[in-house]
Structure 1
Amino acid sequence: MAKSKSVFVCQECGYESSKWLGKCPACDQWNTFVEQIQEVRSRSTQPAAGNAKVFNINDIQLEEEERYSTGIKEMDRVLGGGIVRGSLILVGGDPGIGKSTLLLQVCERLQMNGKVLYVSGEESVKQIKLRADRLGIKNGRLLMVSETNFRAIEGIIDREKPEVVIIDSIQTVFDDELTSAPGSVSQVREVTGGLLRIGKGNNITIIIVGHVTKEGAIAGPRVLEHMVDTVLYFEGERHLSYRVLRAVKNRFGSTNEIGIFEMRDIGLVEVQNPSMTMLSGRPVNVPGSVVIASVEGTRPMLIEIQALVCATSFGMPRRMATGVDYNRVTLLMAVLEKRVGMQLHNYDAYINVVGGLKIDEPACDLGITASIASSYRDSAVDANTVLIGEVGLTGEVRAVSQIEKRLMEAYRIGFKSCIIPSGNMKMVKQLKSLEGMDIKGVENVHQALDLIL
């Protein structure tokens, strides 16, 4: 006979304790333990029968995974070429960022012949229909249901036999065999495990929507991200029109690709030329404005970085960074003080990446440094110049990867000059398609600033 016991589970990370704790020893969060009742079944002394077939690694025949397009090129790019049949995809993002809008548009354009089942635990079918009409969605293969009971959802999937199932959201679905509340660690873990068995066993693609915490991570246990095949984050500021779809885990493709969308009244629209879009409205010959060449996966993008440096009114200068790592900005300002001689300790500094994007690659260091120096000296950088390079603590400018893609993108947009690390000049000399572009190599920050300011 099964016995029941009481355990306390952290709702942030899933850590279990036999007693209530104020602070979780695993994730250091306060007041996150919730009591749950678990059944303990007596173990049989007989060994379990292993019915699974065992294969020799040399006898396994590999076939290319079967994919089908979502009908949205930007999403196909992030997924590695399309959706793999039988995969489990997790989509996370801030409230109101456009997750449900994106998935409804995917339902309309999916290039497959089977049914698509949209399960909502947050809205009624009439509310979903209102949004679908606004987006112009009239797919006759799209089925909608408002349900939160996992057993009922399992029965609907077994009856309708769809090819794609969308669960919006996983935190609202519960298994009535568990005593914990919907959205708890145990509920999210068990429901996701059940969906995983359904998807893999019936070759059904399942897309689940996950809420995020105030820190920006998927709410619930970290095991949720380990169970799924692909994790996508939908990023962007609610007051800005641009959205970025980023893959942080993908078993069937690269995790470096991003997709860029623009939110309009008709829904999310793909941005085919992000460089031109990000540079539209850029001020000309204004101190503090610099263009850099960044690479996300296989896509090069030209991005504007703006800096504002002004004398502080207090004893402690203020530093603020939007779109770039704050600690990286502080480090680069220290390099300017030590290696170039700029007295920035009495100045406030504000750094912003135009368009709401977030960049974290080291190749943007030279652009950030130049924007700060430009604002400090009140001297504008030439509007037709692009800066590329990683800056070290000794002030050297180090070589970066994929320099050809960065230069080709700058040449395509129409830039006439580019400052790059000296270590990349050998590779650039082999390129014959950059005629008319003035490319100069620099070895340190001081040399780069002498060329542009």
Structure 2
Amino acid sequence: MAKAKTRYVCENCGYISASYLGRCPQCGTWNSLIEETIEPEQAASKPRVALSGEAIKPTLLTKVTTEKEVRVKTKNAELNRVLGGGIVPGSLVLIGGDPGIGKSTLLLQVSGYLAKNHGTVLYVSGEESASQIKMRAERLGVGDAGMYLYPETDMPSILAAVDELKPDYLIIDSVQTMNVPTMNSAVGSVAQIREVTAELMRLAKGKGVTTFIVGHVTKEGAIAGPKILEHMVDTVLYFEGDTDHTYRILRAVKNRFGNTNEIGIFEMRRDGLREVANPSEIFLEERLSGATGSAVVVSMEGTRPILVEIQALLTPTVYGNAKRTSSGLDHNKVSLIMAVLEKRANLLLQNQDAYLKATGGVKLDEPAIDLAIAVAIASSYRDTEIPAADCFVGEIGLTGEVRRVSRIEDRVKEAAKLGFERIYVPKNNLQGWKNESDIQVIGVTSVAEAMHRVFGTKKTK
């Protein structure tokens, strides 16, 4: 009879070692290796079973039949957008985020709607009792939904409940609290999370049960557990935002059925999360008139254009080395653009401390925001106001050229819809399309030309 073996697994990255190590060789974390016992296999593993109940066998690609993709629309249009148009039946969706950000609230609201309109929902919670969930459901207005509550952490009991109820949707809150008794490791360990997710994947793909999983995050912001957790699921959604503010951003970082980097904007209220239909108005509603160092960019987040205010503040440095600080913007991008402005636009920035921010708590990382960053920096440096009706789109190269960006038509239409009068775009983007909006489109070829048109400065070679 085979003997049980002992190994040590890193709780942070999943690295496996035959002996105990104080520091993980893969991720460098101290005291993260925990002991696990591997029991010998008692029975042969079962093959995956198709929805028809038959065991899956190798099939020629030409003989594989496909069905028309059917998506289930929820009441929440923002969630539908992030998922790629709705919920795909039989999919496995992981939602991660900081504590108190609204993950359970969102799923409870969605569960209430699905239970009323699209089938049976089994809500499994390892963190709350049934009475606690009921109280929260009544506060959110879904207390009369016909969904099943099951406060349980034992995976065999959960799978037995699924076999008995045969739900269309399964909610697991959260995966770090679930437990497989046959594994001799602590709840929330790498091995437990990996095995629980594998069981849920077999359930979703074998029986067609659409499954939503709530995942806790580490202090660095990554989902706790092994990285394979994110590889196994179909869709990974991150809930972002500050618990001190009401707005939340749901971002798709992986989606097998739709666009990645798609975002949905929500507002947290006492009665739950409410979708924000026009986030651009929220990002711009508190913009001060006559303020310097403020420029508006039309950024693409997935398939949606949104207008965000970029703010810059430059002050003379007190120390020898100038300081560069950014919030919501990449620090390296800010340093690069400031170097280009100093070299190509004759702005002496090496003795200036620079503080930049993308307002509204949104994070911008696409190339098209470069021109707005440059104009905001120049506005603060010259202490000159940018016209409130102007917005900017364009990527800046190291030689000072303004390079073309994607989906310029959608950006221009969004700016015109919100009442902007002028938009500065790369000149090469003007080829091949006709502006049918009331907004004036100004093409620029270099950052020096953009500064000349906005501030009336002389062009540099």
TM-score category of the 2 structures, normalised to the smaller one: over 0.9
- Give, in angstroms, the shift of residue 112 of structure 1: 4.0
Relative to the length of structure 2, the TM-score reads 0.93
Cα distance, 1:43–1:278 mapped onto 2, change above 3 Å = closer
- Give, in angstroms, the shift of residue 52 of structure 1: 4.1
Cα distance, 1:208–1:308 mapped onto 2, change above 3 Å = same
Letter of the structure 1 residue corresponding to residue 379 of structure 2 = S
| 1:24-48 Cα shifts (integer Å, max 9, x gaps) | 222232221111111245999xxxx
2:437 is aligned to 434
- Give, in angstroms, the shift of residue 255 of structure 1: 1.2
Give SS of 1:450's match. helix
Unaligned runs of 5+ in 2: 45-54, 456-461
2:27 is aligned to 27
2:424 is aligned to 419
1:225 is aligned to 230
Whether 1:127 and 2:129 are equivalent positions in the alignment is no
- Give, in angstroms, the shift of residue 314 of structure 1: 2.1
Match of 2:352 among 347, 353, 368: 347
Cα distance, 1:86–1:42 mapped onto 2, change above 3 Å = closer
What is the rounded CA distance, in whole Å, between the counterparts of 2:331 and 2:145 in structure 1?
Answer: 49
Whether 1:182 and 2:184 are equivalent positions in the alignment is no
Unaligned runs of 5+ in 1: 45-50
Give SS of 2:192's match. helix
What is the rounded CA distance, in whole Å, between the counterparts of 2:96 and 2:318 in structure 1?
Answer: 41
Cα distance, 1:272–1:43 mapped onto 2, change above 3 Å = closer
| 1:324-374 Cα shifts (integer Å, max 9, x gaps) | 111111111111122222222221111111111011100000001111111
What is the rounded CA distance, in whole Å, between the counterparts of 2:286 and 2:358 in structure 1?
Answer: 14
Match of 1:60 among 46, 61, 64: 64
Percent identity of the aligned residues?
Answer: 52
What is the rounded CA distance, in whole Å, between the counterparts of 2:158 and 2:281 in structure 1?
Answer: 45
- Give, in angstroms, the shift of residue 140 of structure 1: 3.2
2:389 is aligned to 384
What is the rounded CA distance, in whole Å, between the counterparts of 2:75 and 2:420 in structure 1?
Answer: 33
Alignment of 1:236-275 (within 5 A): 236-275=241-280
What is the rounded CA distance, in whole Å, between the counterparts of 2:164 and 2:41 in structure 1?
Answer: 32
1:91 is aligned to 95
Alignment of 1:16-415 (within 5 A): 16-41=16-41, 52-110=56-114, 112-415=117-420
Structure 1 residue runs of 4 or more that deviate by more than 4 Å after TM superposition:
41-44
**Which shifted more, 308-317 or 82-91?**
308-317
8 Å CA contact 1:88, 1:205 repeated in 2:
yes
| 1:34-77 Cα shifts (integer Å, max 9, x gaps) | 11111245999xxxxxx742211111111123321122111011
Give SS of 2:104's match. helix
Number of aligned positions between the proteins: 444
Relative to the length of structure 1, the TM-score reads 0.95
- Give, in angstroms, the shift of residue 301 of structure 1: 0.8
What is the rounded CA distance, in whole Å, between the counterparts of 2:42 and 2:207 in structure 1?
Answer: 32
What is the rounded CA distance, in whole Å, between the counterparts of 1:210 and 1:269 in structure 2?
Answer: 22
What is the rounded CA distance, in whole Å, between the counterparts of 2:32 and 2:337 in structure 1?
Answer: 38
- Give, in angstroms, the shift of residue 138 of structure 1: 2.5
